[in-house]
Structure 1
Amino acid sequence: MLTIEHQAGVTLLRLQRPERGNALVPMLVEGLIGAASEAFADPAVHTLVLQGEGRHFCTGLDLSDLATLSDADLLLRLVRIETLLAMLWHAPIRTVAQAKGRTWGAGADLLVACEQRLVGSDTTLRFPGAQFGLVLGTRRLAERIGADAARALVLEGSELDAPQALALGLASRITDTLALALLRTSGDTGRAVRTASRSDLRDADLAALVRSAAVPGLQQRITQYRASLLAQ
């Protein structure tokens, strides 16, 4: 489900659910939270890299068991994903997401939360949460690409390709490879700069998520959204 590798100060976390597009299930989210916490606490680690096995980086939240979930179940899953995203956004070390293929929903939010956002030439991005009444990661997206662009992207639910993501500033670079040799340490100065250059959005982001997800009928709204996709 998740593999962890350590190479010369770099911790690589690879999502290992290629048969499900590396969609996020609770066990995988908790594994990512634990592995990231360990990396951030290790003084020998200067970079954390997120990758996905197979064709896609991460296709979002795994909803294969949606029919069995209550609104409360979904809220808990979403809060834990927000916890992971906030950890990455406020990481004391460099974070890198290497996206490819479908990078949708919570997968796109993983990309946004990382400092360096590498996208493969075949990458597509979507932020569909607003289509079923969910506010997840919108402030972080606005920090990356500006409030107007973020608002339009979220409300329209449109799909971006790699060149569009680069033009918006959502992607740092288009590349199909990762050069670990270029991920050099920046030491204590890098930590200080990271802290000073990021807005602390944790409380506001969590509150916005909980308010939107707590509106009764979340499970039904997601079910209807999925049905509309299948009908297209």
Structure 2
Amino acid sequence: MAQETLLKEQLNGVLRITLNRPDKLNALSPDMRTELLSALQGAQDDPQVRSVILTGTGRAFCTGQDLNDILPDSSGKKPDLGEVLTQHYTPIIHCIRQMKKPVICAVNGIATGAGNGLVFACDMVIAAKSAKFIHAFSRLGLVPGAGASFHLPRMVGEVRAKGLMLTGKPLTADRAADWGLVWEAVEDEQLQDVALNLARDLAKGPTSAYAMTKYLIQASADSTLEDQLTREAEMQRRAGYSENHKEGLNAFLEKRPPAFK
């Protein structure tokens, strides 16, 4: 029986999606990319899913594109790597970024190539202390993809982003946490528990407010202050009329934990 390359597990409002090609360091095959996009789209559409965890099995989180799938064919024709990104990776990155629910990446090991693109697209990152982030595109004579050149400079600054991407030197989980690239670096054996506890806490929260908060933060990257103030007012208007705000306010006044829906 063939091994499942993508595992899905629903846990009290949390959907955990696990990349499962440990023998290939979770390199993304065409089928795996299709399954991942489908799982993410399903999470967005499923009202029982209120937060998502993306993680991997084995000693790597994800080493990006499976290079065996982009070798020249028997006639020597090379694949259009720009088309590979546009058709297969761009939809995944957009789906994570536009998800109206929190998405947590639990980085269990090495992340390279488009694997880093997946990490950076997520809302929060918990990394095992053995994890390393490696931008190896330059070693192959290629450029960063899967949104990495957009997200990384905004997370760690232009100088550090250039340093990582030009040299290809690994970044440890502890240093990534110091730089603000990850929310927390934890002992390897604690990774899944820490990520699941965080996801469960978020799953109990006001999902509609989370969605609007994500939108505001992401929009701020290319916004003027005046535009952002206008967006904040509009989102606050919507939030103020929501059932989640009504419940949060009532819970505060009644001195009880809120029960968001």
Place the TM-score, normalised by the shorter chain, in its bin. Answer: 0.7 to 0.9
Amino acid at match of 1:21: L
Q: Distance in 2 between matches of 1:198 and 1:23?
A: 28
Q: Does 1:48 align with 2:52?
A: yes
Q: Distance in 2 between matches of 1:24 and 1:65?
A: 9
**Structure 1 stretch 41-50 or stretch 5-14: which is displaced more?**
41-50
CA-based RMSD? 2.1
Which one of the candidate residues 78, 84, 92 is aligned to 1:77? 84
Q: Does 1:20 align with 2:24?
A: yes
Q: 1:200 to 1:82 in 2, by over 3 A?
A: farther
Q: Distance in 1 between matches of 2:59 and 2:41?
A: 27
Contact kept, 8 Å, 1:90 with 1:198, in 2: the verdict is no
% same residue = 26
Q: Does 1:94 align with 2:108?
A: no
Q: Deviations over 1:29-64 (max 9, x none)?
A: 111111101101222211111111112111121112
Contact kept, 8 Å, 2:9 with 2:15, in 1: the verdict is yes
Q: Does 1:171 align with 2:182?
A: yes
Q: CA deviation at 1:200?
A: 8.3
Q: CA deviation at 1:86?
A: 2.4
Q: Distance in 2 between matches of 1:109 and 1:141?
A: 9
Amino acid at match of 1:173: E
Bigger relative contact order (CA 8 A; separation at least 6)? 1
Q: Distance in 2 between matches of 1:82 and 1:129?
A: 17
Which one of the candidate residues 107, 113, 121 is aligned to 1:105? 113
Q: CA deviation at 1:164?
A: 1.3
Q: Distance in 2 between matches of 1:65 and 1:182?
A: 36
Q: CA deviation at 1:74?
A: 3.1
Contact kept, 8 Å, 2:70 with 2:78, in 1: the verdict is no
Q: Deviations over 1:174-213 (max 9, x none)?
A: 1232332332233211111111111388xxxxxxxxxxxx
Q: Does 1:126 align with 2:124?
A: no
Q: CA deviation at 1:122?
A: 0.7
Aligned to 1:182, what secondary structure does the other structure show?
helix
Q: CA deviation at 1:73?
A: 4.6
Aligned to 2:71, what secondary structure does the other structure show?
helix
Q: CA deviation at 1:151?
A: 2.2
Amino acid at match of 1:178: Q
Amino acid at match of 1:75: G
Contact kept, 8 Å, 1:125 with 1:159, in 2: the verdict is yes
Amino acid at match of 1:105: G
Q: 1:84 to 1:73 in 2, by over 3 A?
A: same
Amino acid at match of 2:81: L
Q: Distance in 1 between matches of 2:89 and 2:60?
A: 19
Aligned partner of 1:215 in structure 2 is: none
Aligned partner of 2:245 in structure 1 is: none
Structure 1 length as normaliser, TM-score? 0.79
**Structure 1 stretch 169-178 or stretch 64-73: which is displaced more?**
64-73
Gaps of 5+ in 2: 222-261
The within-5 A match list for 1:147-226 is 147-175=158-186, 176=188, 177-179=191-193, 180-183=196-199, 184=201, 185=203, 186=205, 187-199=207-219
Amino acid at match of 2:174: P
Greater C-alpha radius of gyration: 2
Contact kept, 8 Å, 1:98 with 1:119, in 2: the verdict is yes
Aligned partner of 2:225 in structure 1 is: none
Q: Distance in 2 between matches of 1:200 and 1:33?
A: 26
